[in-house]
Every structure is written in C-alpha cells, then in structure tokens.
Amino acid sequence: MPVQDTLVKNLDNPIWNALGETQEVFAEANALARRFIDEVGPLAGMASQSEEAYAALGKLAKPGGTLGLFLEEPPLIPSGWTLEADGMLTQMVYDGSSLLGNKRDVSAVELLTVADIPQMIELTQLTKPGPFRDRTFELGHYVGIRAGGRLAAMAGMRLHLPGFREVSAVCTHPDFQGRGYAKALILEVMRHITSLGELPFLHCKADNLGAIHLYEKLGFRQRRLLYLAVIRQV
C-alpha cells in the first residue's frame, strides 16, 4: 500500500510528529517540545535540537524522571541535563512483501484487556522491551499468549502517525523462549495495522542482529538510523 512521501518523512521525527497530530490526546506539549503523559510513558520529542528546545522540554519533565528521545542527529545535551543512556536505533518499515493473511500462527494468541495490565507490567519489567506503564495499554491492540497460567509473551502498538503504526513491546518470558511466540504476536499486530489501511513500522537497537533478522523475514526493511538518548534533568 503506497504512502505519500510527505507522510514517510514524518518518521524522521516520529515522537514529535505523533504527539502533534494522531496521538495529541496523550501529549503534554508546548511550542518546541512534546512528551507522552507520564502514565503512558517517558518518550518525548522536540521540533529540533537547540538549547531553547531542551529548555522547553525541561518544563514538561518530571522531577528526577527520565525522558527518551529518538533523534535524527547525535544528542547535543546542554547544561541542566545528564545523558543516562544512548545508542543507535534502526527504524524498519513493512514493505508489503510477505502475505500476512488472517491465519494465526499460534491458536493461543488472545487480545489482552485492562485486567491484564498488572501482568503486562510485570512481564515488561522482567524483559525490558521498552518503557511500559499503567496507561501504555491505551496506545492500542495488545495481544498475548499464556502458558502455565502466566502471560508468556506479548506485543502491541505504540507510536501512531498518519499512515503508520508502530509495533512495540514485543517480549517473551525467559521460561517460554524459542517457541515462536514473538513471531506469532508480531504477525497478529501487523495484520491488525494493515487491516486499518496503515503500514507497520518499528524501532530496534541497531546491534540486535537476531531481532533485525526476524523482522526482515517478516517483511520489514531498514529505513534509517536514529539516535536514542535517555536524559534526566538535573
């Protein structure tokens, strides 16, 4: 499904653009900076890096809390902030090459509900696929697989931009790895996104070659690199 070049360009600054339009309901914002409300997560974006933008971001930061940025250029952290962690992300977009169909790879895949949030938080705290908080669930369509009476694996959606939705929170409990659960759940989320007439995309640590290989087998192609910066106001 073709997407206009102007919409693809939005992926260069995905958090800023998502919070300025399709996910504005989840945003705290001013003229130069935007962030998800704290109960949803710590991701934030700026129109561009500048001391003025970081100062604007500081007005949205929680005391002692951290914010996660996806940047087009290396982080230029001004005084008043400390860089807690950094790294490279590869942004990948589904190219439509694989036939998703409607068949689930694992029959036990189920749509998760509000009642599952405590187990979802427990699983993400253990496996650390990215920040997941009390209201992250509201970003949409989280699916899971249970085994042994526990939530064994999950996946869902996070960023939403016109024409695109991000596959996120893909994780499997260490006791249940190697069973194909992640692949089944990613495919389920991809089917949901394409049923909405939009394209799946995702972000992965650039050195996670195993995950990148899996995503490529599922039809994702690397689009560009972004700089991850986890910062804290001091």
Q: What are the pLDDT tens digits along the chain (234 aa)?
A: 556 677 899 999 999 999 999 999 999 999 999 999 999 999 999 999 999 999 999 999 988 889 999 999 999 999 999 999 999 999 999 998 766 665 555 668 999 999 999 999 999 999 999 999 999 999 989 999 999 889 999 999 999 999 999 999 999 999 999 999 999 999 999 999 999 999 999 999 999 999 999 999 999 999 999 999 999 999
Query: What does CATH list as the number for 5-89?
Result: 3.40.630.30
DSSP string, 159-222: EEETTEEEEEEEEE-GGGTTSSHHHHHHHHHHHHHHHTT-EEEEEEETT-HHHHHHHHHTTEEE
The pTM of this model reads: 0.93
Tokens (6 digits) for 70? 């996806």
Tell me the fold of 92-223: Aminopeptidase (3.40.630)
The reply to whether 5-89 and 92-223 are identical in fold is yes
Cα angle 26, 32, 74; round to 5 = 100
Per-residue HEC secondary structure of 130-170 comes to: CCCCCCHHHHCCCEEEEECCEEEEEEEEEEEECCEEEEEEE
User: What SS3 state is found at 36?
Assistant: strand
Query: What are the residue boundaries of the structural domains of the chain, listed by start?
Result: 5-89, 92-223
Provide the residue count of the chain.
Answer: 234
